[in-house]
Structure formats: structure tokens, C-alpha cells
Amino acid sequence: MLRQVVFFLRFIALTLGQYDICKSLVSTDDGPIWEFYACQPKPMSMREYMKIKVEPAGITCGSPPERFCTLENPYLCSDECDASNPDLAHPPQLMQDREPFGLITYWQTITWSRYPEPLLANISLSWNKSLELTDDVQITFEYGRPTVMVLEKSMDNGRTWHPYQYYADDCLDAFGMPPKRVQDLSAANVTRVICTEQYSRWVGSKNDKNVLFEVRTRFSIFAGPRLQNMDNLYTRMESMKGLRDFFTFTSLRLRLLRPSLGGTYVQRENLHKYFYAISNIEVPARCKCNLHASQCAVRDGNLQCDCEHNTTGQDCGRCKRGFRAKSWRAGSYLPTPRGSSNNCVAAGSTLGNCECYGHSNRCSYIDFLNIVTCVSCKHNTRGQNCQHCRLGYFRNASAELDDESVCIECNCNQIGSVHDRCNETGYCQCKEGSTGQRCEDCLPGHYWKQGCFPNVCDDELLLCQNGGTCHENQRCICPPELRGVLCEQPRCDGEDCDAACTSYLTSVTLLLCLLATQLLKLTAC
């Protein structure tokens, strides 16, 4: 309870009145007008919103029930973990509960009875939302802190992971890294991933239960020891590459690699005193809304920014429809103290002389035509205002002019069409015989073979004759004695008759033929 109050007070101190409103109505001589500012949600305890996953399966103690001892008194093994008894169970959600009445509740693993096989556990914490750390991450271990562990983070909902900080009682031995302290970091190496020995040494299990990922100490490099100069930190956030990303995450993962040993070597005769137990994980952070929202709330089970400045998306990372006259930009902490809101601009409003519907953010003046024109139109657009589609693309009728999908590729069939362009409704110009929006089909009476060709034969009008059969509309397969496109001719007719014709000739004519040759022989003699 006290722990939570202290955290709460620290949040307030850290955020007092800076970048907390997105707009305000100010009065001018011309009447009241809106002014817009960079804004960000207040830090929250993200503990309640995290989804916890513990690996491997079966690492949580209690099935089957198991006795465990403590490091201080390994011979007093009266405690029991039993998953089937609510009073003796230690499920993962006890790492994020509110602990009413000050009662400490904790997740606990099986004991290290399989020693020397390592006792390994992964705890993934995910939010499905980009968050920015605003204070120290604090993990509270009961019964001693691990002697080796790694904190990792993901910025893409767990697809890729990166080490955030290494923890060991001997960094060189465990990770081959020299031990460092966050206090020793400077502005030049504040985003360095270090190994620290500060939270892994044995101090008695009740003296210091916490393992920290130090955010405050890193902030104080820029903002001073009491964070009195936050403007300087925010200025650095804008100018220093990678600084903001360093504090940004969607998921965290704890890889527990070796439990607390109570300050000595592993005592094989009593392995029931080695295990992990975590009572609380505190993650003070704010929703990352790209300085376009001052509120963040749970909607449909997920944290979501309440976007202002005509932006939209889970992180306010896009312009709303109809507000894409300029490309989207994050708000900026500069100039302090109010920052810049970098609003999205309504399509159709004039932006200087030139509007590009959000498909370009560069214009150029063409001297001899005396016009201003958009340069390098994106999203397959072209034209002075990026208002047309490139050749080979056509206008998406259901999209606004400032929509990224305003131009659709024609995709004309290369063989069936005359060229790769299409008309305004997406129809390609077809070669003779082909049809369809992309000229990918053949007209009736045509067959497809690297293009459309008129049928040679079919089952209705162009029938193969004398018992021939039509093969894929391309040719008649004729009986051996016939030829012609439709098998309409005999192979041998009139004067061309010779040996090949014998099968066709009747035996009578064959006889006459033989007689005639004999006669010729006789006359020659």
C-alpha cells in the first residue's frame, strides 16, 4: 500500500502540468480561437493492464503440491504450495494484484529439485500498445532475488526482442560483460545496455527485495538529480537519436536464469530452498500517443489514445480521413514549454499555394510556367497537386483524394491487352479476341493460348467431319485416311495417288492398276 502511494506521489512530481492539454480556447481581438499544443497522457501504473505469460508450462508450483524451505532457515520446511487450494496457490496473477489489507501475495515456481539442470523461467508482460517508461520498473522478489537474469523488451508486440538490462551477481562470469552501474552512465552512453551487479548480490531476503530498471537515474542525467529541469530532458528527447525509443516498448520479458542461493554455493542436500517468487511488478509508463493525446483509456480490452489534432490510430500515428493535406507528423516537445502540435490539415484547405493531398510534402516553383507544383507524388499519384493517378493506375471510386489507396493498379493482362493502361473505371484496352476488365478472358468463339485465337473447331458450327474429333478448339484430330482443317479431304485424291494411297483404294481398282502395269511391260518388250 505504502509502496503504491510513494509511486503515485512520484508520478505527480514528475509530470506536474507539462504537456497535459492538447488545445485551449484563447480570446483575441477577432473573437475566441483555438490554440493547439503538444500533449501526452499522464503516467499510469501499467501493472493492471498487462497480460502475463509464464513459461515453460509447469514452472508454477503446486501441481503436484510441493513443500519448500527458506534460505534463512533451510531446516524449517513447513510451507507448502498447492495449486488446488486457493490459500496455498501461487498463480501468476499474484504478480499484478492490488494486495488488499497489505497482505503480500506472490507467484512462485517449483523448487530446484532437478539441479544441476538450470531452473529457468520466462515471464512475458504485454500490453498490445506502445508505452513510454516514466519511472523505474520495479520487480519485487520474495525469498531472495535471482543471481542471474535478463530484462528484455519488444517494440513490436513480441515479434522481436532486445536485451534491456543484464543482472548478475558476477557479470563477467554470467555474461562476459564488465559490471556497470546506471549511475556511471553519461549523456553520451545513456542508452547503453549494461550488466549490473547492484540487484543480484545476497543481502538477506528481507533487506532488499527489489530489482530495478532505472529510468529516473537516466532521466536525471539531463533533468538534474531531482528532475527539476525536465525541459532539458524533453529537448534531448527531440534531438537525441534513439533516446525516446530507448524508453518505448510494447512488451517486457524477464528471463530468470538462476535463483538466489542465499549467498553461498548450491547445497545439493536441500534443493527445496531454491525457487523464484515475485510479489509485484510495477511498470510506471504512459501511452505513447505521439504527442497528440492527453488521455489514454481501455477500449475493447486494449489501451487506446484519445487522439486530438485530427489524428487517429492506436498511437495517433495517422491523420484522420479528410485531414491529409499534409503528411502526418508527431507532435514536438519544442519549443518549450508548450511544444508544437503539428496538426493534421483538412484536405481542401490551402497550404500556401500548393496542395498535394498528403501524397507529397515538397513543392517546387516552376519558373517558366509560373506555377507551384508538388514534387515526387507518392501512392501512385501524379499531377500538379498529386490529384491524378499515374499511368497504369486508376482512381479508387470509394477513396477520398487524400487517401493512400486512392490509386489502384490496372493490372492489365500483358498478353491480352494492347498496353498496361486502363480507363477511369479500371478497364484495360483489349486486343482482338480478348475481353474482361484486365483482358484476361477470351471472347466466345476464341481459345486461350498465349493470347486469344479464333476457334478452329467446336461442337456446334465448326464440326470436325468424317469422324474427326475437336482438340481444345485448336485442331481436328482426323482418322488416318483423312486430312484438312475439318478432316474434309481424303489424304489421296486424283493424280497424287501413289503407294500411300493403297489402303484407301478398293481391291478392284488395285487389280486394274496391277493389270495396267503388266500391259505397259508387255508393250515395252
Ligand X SMILES: *[C@@H]1O[C@H](CO)[C@@H](O)[C@H](O)[C@H]1NC(C)=O
- Residue 194 Cα distances to 223, 225, 255, 259, 350, angstroms: 21, 21, 16, 20, 51
Query: Measured from the CB atom, is 384 or 396 closer to ligand X?
Result: 396
Q: Report how far residue 292's alpha carbon sits from residue 310's, in angstroms, rounded to the nearest whole number.
A: 9
**Which range touches ligand X (CB under 6 A), out of 268-276, 395-403, 449-457, 507-515?**
395-403
Q: Of the two residues 205 and 279, which places its CB atom closer to Ca ion in the complex?
A: 279
User: In this complex, which beta carbon is closest to ligand X, that of residue 122 or of residue 198?
Assistant: 122
Neighbours of 224 (CB within 10 A): 13
Cell of 215: 529510468
Amino acid residing at 38? A
| Nearer Cβ to Ca ion (196/279) | 279
Q: Is the Cβ–Cβ distance between 352 and 322 less than 8 Å?
A: no
Give the one entry of ligand X, Ca ion, none that residue 94 binds, where binding means its C-beta sits below a cut-off of 5 to 8 angstroms depending on kind: Ca ion
What would the grid cell of residue 255 be? 528471463
Strand partners, 132: 248, 286
Question: Which residue type, as a one-letter code, is found at position 52?
Answer: I
- 155 interacts with ligand X by CB under 6 A: no
Q: Return the residues of window 169-208 that contact ligand X according to CB under 6 A.
A: 180, 184-186, 188-189, 192, 194
Q: Rg of the chain's alpha carbons, rounded to an integer? A: 40
Q: Is residue 29 classed exposed, middle or buried when 0-12, 13-18 and 19+ CB atoms within 10 A define those classes? A: exposed
The whole-angstrom separation of Cα 340 and Cα 329 is: 10
Q: Which of 63, 423, 502, 503 binds ligand X (CB under 6 A)?
A: 423
- Please state the closest distance from residue 70 (CB atom) to ligand X, in A: 24
Choices 224-232, 251-259, 274-282, 479-487; region in contact with Ca ion by CB under 5 A? 274-282
> Quick one: DSSP state of residue 370?
T
CB of 182 within 8 A of CB of 197? no
Please identify which residue in 279, 312, 381, 385 interacts with Ca ion, judged by CB under 5 A. Answer: 279
* Nearby residues of 75 by Cβ (< 8 Å), 6 or more positions away: 69, 270
Pairing state between β 210-213 and 137-141: antiparallel
Which CB sits closer to ligand X, 220 or 473?
Answer: 220
Among 120, 456, 462, 497, binds ligand X (CB under 6 A): 120
Query: Tell me, what amino acid is at 319?
Result: C
- As measured in angstroms, the least distance from the Cβ of 89 to Ca ion is 13
Half-sphere exposure of 498 (CA within 13 A, CB side): 1
Site string (118-157) toward Ca ion, x via CB under 5 A: ----------------------------------------
250 sits near Ca ion (criterion: CB under 5 A)? no
What string marks each residue from 428 to 467 as x (binds ligand X by CB under 6 A) or -? Answer: ----------------------------------------
State the number of CA atoms in the 13 A half-sphere of 140 facing the CB: 17
Q: Give, as ranges, the residues between 280 and 319 that touch ligand X (CB under 6 A).
A: 302, 304, 309-310, 314
Angle of helix 230-239 relative to helix 216-223, nearest 10 degrees, comes to: 100
Distance separating alpha carbons of residues 328 and 319, to the nearest angstrom? 6
Contacts of 209 (CB under 8 A, 6+ apart): 140, 141, 142, 145, 279
Stretch that binds Ca ion, among 68-76, 91-99, 129-137, 339-347 (CB under 5 A): 91-99
User: How far apart are alpha carbons 116 and 265 in whole angstroms?
Assistant: 12
Residue among 4, 18, 45, 128 that touches ligand X (CB under 6 A): 128
Q: Which does 56 bind (CB under 5 to 8 A by kind): ligand X, Ca ion, none?
A: ligand X
CB contact at 8 A, 265 and 273: no
The residue within the footprint of Ca ion, chosen from 105, 165, 200, 473 (CB under 5 A), is 105
- State in angstroms the smallest separation of the CB of 341 from ligand X: 7
Buried b (16+ CB within 10 A) or exposed e, 306-322: bbbbbbbbbbbbbbbee
Least distance to Ca ion, CB of residue 133, Å: 21
**Residue closer to ligand X (CB basis): 128 or 198:** 128
Judged by CB under 5 A, the residue of 59, 69, 71, 94 near Ca ion is 94
Residue 423 interacts with, from ligand X, Ca ion, none (CB under 5-8 Å by kind): ligand X
Given the complex with ligand X, which of 251 and 385 has the nearer CB atom?
Answer: 251
- Which residues sit at the interface with Ca ion, rule CB under 5 A? 94, 97, 99, 105, 279-280
* Residues at the interface with ligand X (CB under 6 A): 34, 36, 55-56, 120-122, 128, 180, 184-186, 188-189, 192, 194, 255, 302, 304, 309-310, 314, 343, 396, 398-399, 403, 405, 408, 423-425, 427
